[in-house]
């Protein structure tokens, strides 16, 4: 077989994987392939780099059943995997996801389950710099803080023992299209990408082109760089907040005692760390991830008079001031106090 041509994109990916330690030599990688240009580009690049790294590669495809051609799309990915000589796993949703968020959650659950069942330690997706810019804008208009604005990250835990890796975050979507064209890869067009009822499509089709035309031709790169800077800031702040929270907890609380926080320890910390430490505390004890308002309610108790309390958090628990401590009281135990 004729060796694939080594392009600048191959060199960029090879260098990025090594510098960021995204994969190790000999890793077993599961490539998420939708059939679109980004995932096809990534799959072909990883296949081309395989001899240098000794990876064991496989393909996974998630059929959401959103489109009439979804079955044909899955068949195409299967035939592509067979032509490349790599294992392929196709999963079809039992129930059609009701939203993009539900589809994304189902997809990641499926990818994690496939990886764990078949011994793949990494799941690689074709998210690009363009996706990162779109996600930052989407989260910005929804009122996200720095955590949301860092948007897509290079690597995160997908499930125990499996990492989700995005090796193309420094590659623009126009570059993946050019690569697929140069290699003769048939791209399966997803008609739902043109549906402007989806906010991300509106950002992609209308807002980013307007920003490019009127404000900054390199807006995708600028937003992606902002996300990268915020990622490092968030990592540092989360670590510092975890240390602050550790110091604010009682040294050896009995298992049946109310969760507590030491107010004087928190009061002398910067506001940014206070908020993060309180959010981490609530995340441990509430049934859902705390948003802005629950954190602010708890923050107000740091300087509140004794016996002050919040209204109920999600799940029914309340927080109250007991001298130098804030107690989080579960509704099941509240009547006993």
Tell me the binding residues: 34-39
Q: What is the DSSP string of 92-150?
A: E-SS--SSHHHHHHHHHHHHHHHHHHHT--EEE----HHHHHHHHHHHHHTT--HHHHT
Q: What DSSP element (H or E) covers 53?
A: helix 37-53
Tokens 């290699």, residue located: 183
Tokens 């004890």, residue located: 285
Residues with Cβ within 8 Å of residue 311, at least 6 apart in sequence: 297, 318
CA 87 – CA 234 distance, rounded (Å): 37
DSSP assignment, residue 310? P
DSSP assignment, residue 309? B
Q: Are 20 and 46 in contact (CB under 8 A)?
A: no
Q: What DSSP element (H or E) covers 306?
A: none
* Parallel/antiparallel/unpaired status of strands 318-322 and 325-329: antiparallel
Residues with Cβ within 8 Å of residue 213, at least 6 apart in sequence: none
Q: Tell me how far the alpha carbon of residue 100 is from its chain's centroid.
A: 14
Beta bridge partners of 123: 30, 164
Residues annotated in a binding site for ATP: 34-39
């Amino acid at each position: 077989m004729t060796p694939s041509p080594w392009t600048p994109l191959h060199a960029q990916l090879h260098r990025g994987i090594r510098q960021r330690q995204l994969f190790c030599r000999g890793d077993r990688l599961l490539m998420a392939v939708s059939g679109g240009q980004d995932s096809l580009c990534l799959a072909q690049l990883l296949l081309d780099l395989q001899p240098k790294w000794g990876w064991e590669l496989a393909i996974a495809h998630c059929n959401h059943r959103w489109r009439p051609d979804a079955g044909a799309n899955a068949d195409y990915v299967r035939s592509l995997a067979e032509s490349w000589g790599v294992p392929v796993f196709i999963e079809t949703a039992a129930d059609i996801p009701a939203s993009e968020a539900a589809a994304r959650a189902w997809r990641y659950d499926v990818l994690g389950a496939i990886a764990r069942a078949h011994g793949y330690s990494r799941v690689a997706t074709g998210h690009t710099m363009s996706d990162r810019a779109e996600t930052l804008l989407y989260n910005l208009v929804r009122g996200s803080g720095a955590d949301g604005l860092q948007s897509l990250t290079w690597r995160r835990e997908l499930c125990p023992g499996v990492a989700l890796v995005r090796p193309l975050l420094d590659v623009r979507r126009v570059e993946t299209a050019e690569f697929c064209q140069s290699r003769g890869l048939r791209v399966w067009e997803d008609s739902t990408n043109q549906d402007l009822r989806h906010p991300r499509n509106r950002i992609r089709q209308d807002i980013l082109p307007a920003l490019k035309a009127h404000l900054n031709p390199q807006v995708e790169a600028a937003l992606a760089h902002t996300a990268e800077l915020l990622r490092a800031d968030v990592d540092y702040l989360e670590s510092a907040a975890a240390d602050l929270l550790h110091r604010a907890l009682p040294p050896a609380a009995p298992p049946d005692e109310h969760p507590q926080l030491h107010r004087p320890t928190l009061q002398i910390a910067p506001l940014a760390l206070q908020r993060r430490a309180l959010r981490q505390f609530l995340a441990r004890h509430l049934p859902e991830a705390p948003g802005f308002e629950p954190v602010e309610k708890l923050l107000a108790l740091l300087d509140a008079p004794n016996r002050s309390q919040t209204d109920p958090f999600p799940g029914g628990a309340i927080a109250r001031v007991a001298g130098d401590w804030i107690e989080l009281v579960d509704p099941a135990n509240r009547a006993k106090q």
